[in-house]
Chain A
Amino acid sequence: MPKQLMHNEKILAFFFFFSLAGIFLISLCIGRYPVPFSHAAGIIASKFFSIRQFWAEEEEAVILFLRLPRILLGLLIGAGLGISGAAFQGIFRNPLVSPHILGVAAGAGFGGILAMLVSNNSFLVMVSAFAFGIVSISLTSIVGRVRKTSHPLALVLSGIVVGAFFTALISLLKFVADPVDRLPSIVFWLMGNLAGASFAKFSIVSVPILVAMTLLVLLRWRINILSLGDEEARTLGTNPEKLRWLIILCVTVIVALSVSVSGIIGWVGLVIPHIARFAAGANHRILLPLSAYMGAGYLVIMDDIARSLTPAEIPLGILTAIIGAVVFAAVLKHAFQKNTYGN
């Protein structure tokens, strides 16, 4: 795609909407139980129009109750992690931060497995994960607050500390967990996966995640101003502190809810903004929506591979890390040669 087109928001939105629709339909067909494309399209269309059934009952069950919620959740979380990464890299003025940098993912992960130790109720796991996500961002803000302000670097450093703290607590819980009964499911959940997707989960997390994403999209151009540093932002008439916290709040909601339904899926929020920046330039006005589109497509494709490559499901987080690392290395290598990050 030529670079000039990448700067036209409408053309970009059009192109990515249809490519996501394509990925969505193809993903419905892929899996250990393949469904012909025409059947998959018919099953989805039958929900909106009256169409005479020409597919098997099992196909409809697989698509509607297993694959559809899973793909929708994948699109939502991929988009959320992509846009969160782009926003955080902007406001922390650092292309190497990920949405997990403030410790929210580690906190939410701890909350999730704490609930798994005491109960099999997946909604309790969600609530506990979200709650500990909020606890961790609160701790990060307290630790990072110096003389009534939160310097971005202080926040990142305290986020690393809080993240490390909760990661240690996660190890502790794994150590004490029953190795036969509980440990395998905890380890699988922590690696990040969409295997537990359901419409119930999707309907709980989708509204707050979409609200947070919408806010980030509306603030996308302001992130350019924040990325110049606080002093310049102030002289350009923007209050950096308040704006930064609003963005952190949005990302916290997205990350904590994502972890609560899918565990810790790493690398998407780090790699996707780089690829988007490489394709369309640094302007966050384009970068944020593009990262959302690309994150959504990337995560669903990764999940297709995770659930169809081998009879036993591969945890999604492992795939995003392996493929993410390779892609990231290639993009970085090329970006340094093109001097994309300045001197």
Chain B
Amino acid sequence: MAIEIKNASFEYISGNPVFREVTCSLAQGEILSVIGPNGCGKTTLLQCILGILELSRGAIVISAGQRIGYVPQEHHAPFPYTVKEMVVMGRAHRIGLFSVPKKEDEDAAMRWLEALSITRLAEKPYTEISGGEKQLVRIARALASGGAVLLLDEPAASLDFKNQQLILEVLRKLSHEKTRAIIMTTHHPQHALSVSDKVLLMSSGIHPPIYGNTADVLTEENVKRIYGVDAKIISLAHEHGAIKGVIPISHLKN
């Protein structure tokens, strides 16, 4: 297993639980989607996995000696670093405190830019590229920082339709390499349905969260239970295999 989360609970000092008894495990090549409404504790769980926050109980075990590559959400970049400079920063853990990146670090950064087909952006300022390109650069940086687990915080948020598909496609490709487990949070049940092997459904009223294979967890009943939204889950035959969708139902007549 690349990562195992065992009976993980987090509560504030006041005793208010954020999540309780989260248990899940992922092998290399598997994708887990963490979904749930705002304030359900998705970000807190991510921060616990990253080691920024400490669990109240339970454990998170990452396969020995491995690091987590983290893809944060987009935020304001105060300085116009070039794309290559941004990706090289993913190698920070390999570079001594009083040292600077060497040729091998820059080469590694360029390899990841190439792997994501964005070599052409290398010398462009990060502040001047599009939202989708920025997301790819952050993924390249996380991959450069390496490890058995890739963690993404709402990777498709604030992207247009085309770029959402681009990022999901990149995640699929990365999972096919079978070298790392991928965990992402998302607000789109559709995205969870289309790329993930497993789903963790979180809600502030439901402890422990619902966890299992995507088809078992992402059901019409659970969508209603978590979001309070009536939805249909459909599956259509297609030459690439079955394609699935989550369609919300309006209560107004057309």
Chosen A-B contacts, 18 in total, with CB atoms closer than 8 Å, are: A90-B79, A93-B78, A94-B78, A220-B100, A221-B95, A225-B92, A228-B77, A232-B72, A235-B50, A236-B90, A237-B67, A282-B79, A282-B81, A282-B125, A283-B81, A339-B80, A339-B127, A341-B80
Selected contact of A221 from candidates B52, B70, B76, B101, CB within 8 Å: B101
Selected contact of A224 from candidates B51, B81, B125, CB within 8 Å: B81
- Please determine whether B85 and A237 come into contact, CB atoms closer than 8 angstroms: no
B103 part of interface (Cβ distance < 8 Å): no
- Please determine whether A236 and B81 come into contact, CB atoms closer than 8 angstroms: no
Query: In the complex, which residues of chain A have a beta carbon less than 8 angstroms from the beta carbon of B81?
Result: 224, 281-283
B82 part of interface (Cβ distance < 8 Å): yes
Of A93, A221, A237, A343, most B-chain CB atoms within 10 Å: A221
A330-343 interface bits toward B, Cβ cutoff 8 Å, 1 = contact, 0 = none? 00000000011111
- Please determine whether B70 and A235 come into contact, CB atoms closer than 8 angstroms: yes
Given contacts A90-B79, A220-B100, 12 further A-B contacts (CB under 8 A): A218-B99, A225-B92, A235-B52, A235-B68, A236-B89, A236-B145, A237-B67, A237-B92, A282-B79, A282-B80, A342-B127, A342-B128
Query: In the complex, which residues of chain B have a beta carbon less than 8 angstroms from the beta carbon of A339?
Result: 80, 127-128
B240 part of interface (Cβ distance < 8 Å): no
- Please determine whether B79 and A95 come into contact, CB atoms closer than 8 angstroms: yes
Query: In the complex, which residues of chain A have a beta carbon less than 8 angstroms from the beta carbon of B89?
Result: 224-225, 228, 236
> How many chain B residues touch the partner (CB < 8 A)?
30
The residue on B at minimum CB distance from A4 is B123
A151 part of interface (Cβ distance < 8 Å): no
B236 part of interface (Cβ distance < 8 Å): no
Interface size class of A (residues with CB under 8 A): 20 to 34
- Please determine whether B93 and A236 come into contact, CB atoms closer than 8 angstroms: yes
The 5 closest A-B pairs by CB, nearest first: A342-B127, A237-B93, A282-B79, A218-B98, A235-B70
Query: In the complex, which residues of chain B have a beta carbon less than 8 angstroms from the beta carbon of A281?
Result: 80-82
A238 part of interface (Cβ distance < 8 Å): yes
- Please determine whether B85 and A95 come into contact, CB atoms closer than 8 angstroms: no
Q: Answer whether A227 and B80 are a contact pair too, CB < 8 Å, given A235-B70, A235-B72, A236-B89.
A: no
Of A218, A228, A234, A340, most B-chain CB atoms within 10 Å: A228
A219-243 interface bits toward B, Cβ cutoff 8 Å, 1 = contact, 0 = none? 1111011011101101111100001
Say how far A88's CB is from chain B's closest CB, in angstroms: 12
B81-117 interface bits toward A, Cβ cutoff 8 Å, 1 = contact, 0 = none? 1100100011011010111110000000000000000
> For the complex, what is the distance from the CA of A243 to the CA of B79, rounded to whole Å?
19
B120 part of interface (Cβ distance < 8 Å): no
- Please determine whether B77 and A342 come into contact, CB atoms closer than 8 angstroms: yes
B29-63 interface bits toward A, Cβ cutoff 8 Å, 1 = contact, 0 = none? 00000000000000000000011100000000000
Query: In the complex, which residues of chain B have a beta carbon less than 8 angstroms from the beta carbon of A229?
Result: 75
Say how far B154's CB is from chain A's closest CB, in angstroms: 15
